[in-house]
Amino acid sequence: MPKTVGVIGMGYVGLTLTAALARKGYVVHGVDANPRVVEALSNGRIHVYEPGVQEAFAEHLGTGITVSDRLPDTPLDAAILSVSTPVDLSTGRPDLRNLAAAAEHVAATCRPGTLVVVRSTVPIGTSRSVVLPALAARWGDDVRLVMAPERTIQGQALRELVELPQVVGGLDEESLGAGAELFAGLAEQVVPVSGLETAEMVKLSNNCHTDLIYAFGNELALIAEQHGLDPLEVIRAANLDYPRPDLAKPGYVGGGCLSKDPYLMIASTRRPPYLVDRARALNERLPAHVAERMVELIRESAGRTEGVRLSVLGWAYKGWPATDDMRGTPIAEMMPLFRAVGLTVLGHDPLVPDEVIREYGGEPVSLDKAFADAHALLVINDHPDYRGLEVESRLATSGVRVLFDSWRILDEAAITRHGVRYAGIGYLAEERA
């Protein structure tokens, strides 16, 4: 008989998990507090872009998947908490009220002994200090609780939910056994760890390490910029056939996880960490640094900034794997600087809707108009549509005089041949005579 589970929170984590579980034969009851999300999903309209999710809902909705604003009264094998745990970036403090409310809902609705899984990313100790008391207040000692962090990348979530090892830490041996059995039906490999806190730290460690690696690439770019060097040349030469870990290319570091999880790690410590907070600060500073460089280049080229038209390609926080996710997008930090100097910002993104571009202060345009109607162009993400751009013909009839290619994905030689000033993160091409 298939396992029946409730997934509380139909954001990115809960939605993809629901789809993946249904594809494996589980019966999944999705829950969300937002009536619009419930109504849309109940009618098969997916509010988050992720390859495969639409198809999974089309196949399983009404049979393997139902969506409501509360858990069913019928018994569940497990209830999975996948609600958001946002961070107030002005204070660095996590907001765990959604998690506490979800735990209370499970305790009030499910029978004692139901396996409860914390899937949300949390500071170390949260499963024990926030979720466990809510369950124990109603269920007494009959609590089975595990922490099993989500570790997928957007654009590949349904594959990675099956292929990536699922880390599971339990309140006790009985909980751990139930959690391992639940995820063994989904993933190819389950990794049991010694407790709730260990599993919580695994997730934070993965993402903080990624943030730190990217921060070092950005640090190199900022140093190379001061010396007029090409950071990609430095990094390529340093990495070539060298047996130590590769250096990362410079680039923006956003998204729902990398822009938040370092703060959750910091909130887990009694003493300030040495590296985590500094890496995050550097990565958060990069978009504003690029915006300042963009303004300088426009001012040098046009002699002014007021009324100059700047086209921005790529409004989602990353281009590959492709996403429409705006969490941690670089443009959010850039727009105040662009507005302050009077730039008119045109916007294009293959996946982000026009209304979202407008919400951030941009004027949506086609890719053709992005080249034809602007003096300067800024490529923020590396979506495949931008990687494949044939710039030669576009620049031949374009008024673009400055092109900032953040990920260095375009043909620099073709750009500079047209007398266009070319730059990237930490890099400025020499002007042609």
On whether the CB atoms of residues 255 and 330 are closer than 8 A, the answer is no
Say what the pTM is: 0.94
- The string of pLDDT tens digits covering residues 196-237 is 999 999 999 999 999 999 999 999 999 999 999 999 999 999
Mean pLDDT within 365-377: 97
Looking at domain 4-194, its CATH superfamily turns out to be NAD(P)-binding Rossmann-like Domain (3.40.50.720)
Beta bridge partners of 67: 30
Domain boundaries, the chain: 4-194, 196-433
**Would you state the structure tokens that stand for residue 53, as one six-digit string?**
């999710």
Contact 79, 114 (CB under 8 A): yes
Rounded percentage of the chain residues whose pLDDT exceeds 70: 99
pLDDT of residue 1: 62
Asked whether this chain's domains 4-194 and 196-433 adopt the same fold, the reply is yes
Q: How far apart are CA 160 and CA 158, in angstroms?
A: 6
User: pLDDT tens digits, residue range 38-73?
Assistant: 999 999 999 989 999 999 999 999 999 999 999 999
Q: Of the candidates 106, 200, 83, which has an alpha carbon nearest to the alpha carbon of residue 147? A: 200
pLDDT one-digit tens code per residue, 160-192 = 999 999 999 999 999 999 999 999 999 999 999
Confidence of residue 430 (pLDDT cuts 50, 70, 90): confident
Q: Among residues 86, 166, 167, 96, which one has the least CA distance to residue 132?
A: 96
Summarised one tens digit per residue, pLDDT across range 127-146 is 999 999 999 999 999 999 99
Pick the CATH number of 196-433 from 2.40.40.20, 2.40.50.140, 3.40.1190.20, 3.40.50.720: 3.40.50.720
Categorize the per-residue pLDDT at 432 as very low, low, confident or very high, splitting at 50, 70 and 90: low
Return the ∠ at Cα 164 (arms to 163 and 169), rounded to 5°.
135
The answer to whether residue 433 scores a pLDDT higher than 60 is: no
CA angle, corner 226, sides to 225 and 229, nearest 5?
50
Query: Which of 365, 388, 373, 261 lies closest to 319, judged by CA?
Result: 388
Quick: pLDDT tens for 89-111.
Answer: 888 899 999 999 999 999 999 99
